[in-house]
Each structure stands twice: as structure tokens, then as C-alpha cells.
Amino acid sequence: MNLEFLTVSLLVVASPGTGAAVTIATGLSRGARTAAIAALGCTLGIVPHMLAAVTGLAALLHASSLAFEVVKFAGVAYLLYLAWMTWREQGVLRVEPDGATRSDCAVIRHAVLVNLLNPKLSMFFLAFLPQFIAPDDAAPTVTMLQLSAIFMAMTFVVFALYGAFAARMREHVLGSPTTMTWLRRSFAATFVGLGVKLALTTR
């Protein structure tokens, strides 16, 4: 591990994306505690991509255009579903007391699915992490797992901070129906934009 790995990983984690949007929306609508749970779910959603890279399944995803397209458009469909539900006030920006309606497990399942349906994460683990494993490394799998654990820890911390900041703004936002309507539509548009961006990406 070196400074370059930490810097690039932080940039990848902190850049706007679906996981960050879901965590921020959760913080605004349900508070800091549930936002932290959503951040945990987004982090757990990385595990399948990490395991795929370690076992070589990510290479298959990279080699098979059909497999990549299936996962990609499943992700696009889910993002568009999130956009529609958010627009209708039934999605991630639905206002409710912490934990009142959606259970912690449901929040985690939702967040896991957001990252699970992102084939670019598999590409990240396949193309990026190996660059930081020395050719003469005696235990490359162990090193890759260690780097992955650091990446996941950074994901949780950054997303939890996003959610906590959003939660601090919660009372100001909830006090203005106009602001809530604007935010709901903005998040719906964000999910549509992320879906279109994912649909246009190539391997």
C-alpha cells in the first residue's frame, strides 16, 4: 500500500455516485443513524465484486460482453426504478422517523443492491487493485484482500460522513415543503442521470 493507492481510492469513493446519493438521501429523510446503516449496506455491496475479482469471475465479466451488459442494464433498470419511486414520494427521500417504517435489514438490502448492480466496481477491482500488487509478492491474494478491506473502510467512512452531514441539514429541509419537493425531484433526476451514464459506459 502507498500514498497513490490511498489518494486514488479516496477520489473514487468520494466522487458522486449512486451509493453516495442513496446515503445522502437517507440522511435527509431518516437521520444519521439510518444513513450510517445505508453506508454499511453500500460497503457490503462491494464484497461480491471483491470476491469476483479474487476468484477470477470479474475477468469473465470483463471478457463476456453479454454478461457485462446484463449486469449493467439490471443496474440501469434499478436506478430508473429509484428515480420513479423518489419522484412519487415512495423512494429513498420519503420522510419518516428513524427506523419507523423501513427496517435496518431492509435499508441494508437496498444499499447492497445499489452497489451489487454496478459492474464498474468489478472492473475497478480487476483493473485497478492489481497495479498495486508487486510481481514478486509471495501472497498476492492476501495483499488484494488487504487493499480491498482498506477501500471498503474508506467507503464506509466517507459515505457515513455524507449521511451525517445530510442529517444535520434535515430539520432545515423538513421545515420547507418547497425544499423537500425540489430535493425529491433533484434526487430523481440524479438517479436518471446516473442510469443514463451507466447505460452509455463500456468495458
CA 139 to CA 56: how far, in whole Å?
16
State pLDDT tens for residues 4-32: 788 878 877 887 678 888 898 888 888 89
Q: What is the pLDDT of residues 53-90, one digit of tens each?
A: 777 655 555 566 776 677 677 767 866 876 777 676 65
Q: Give the span between the Cα atoms of 136 and 134, in whole angstroms.
A: 5
Binning pLDDT at 50, 70 and 90, where does residue 153 land?
A: very high
Can you give the three-state secondary structure of 32-81, one letter per residue?
A: HHHHHHHHHHHHHCCHHHHHHHHHCHHHHHHHCHHHHHHHHHHHHHHHHH
pLDDT tens digits along 84-120: 776 766 555 554 544 455 688 989 998 898 888 776 6
CB-CB contact of 65 with 203 (8 Å): yes
With b for 16 or more beta-carbon neighbours within 10 A and e for fewer, the 104-117 pattern comes to eeebbbbbbbbbbb
User: Has residue 142 got a pLDDT over 90?
Assistant: no
Residue 37, pLDDT score = 95
What is the chain's mean pLDDT, rounded?
Answer: 77
* 123 vs 49: CA distance, rounded Å: 9
The answer to whether the Cα torsion of 118, 119, 122, 128 is positive or negative is negative
- What's residue 99's pLDDT? 44
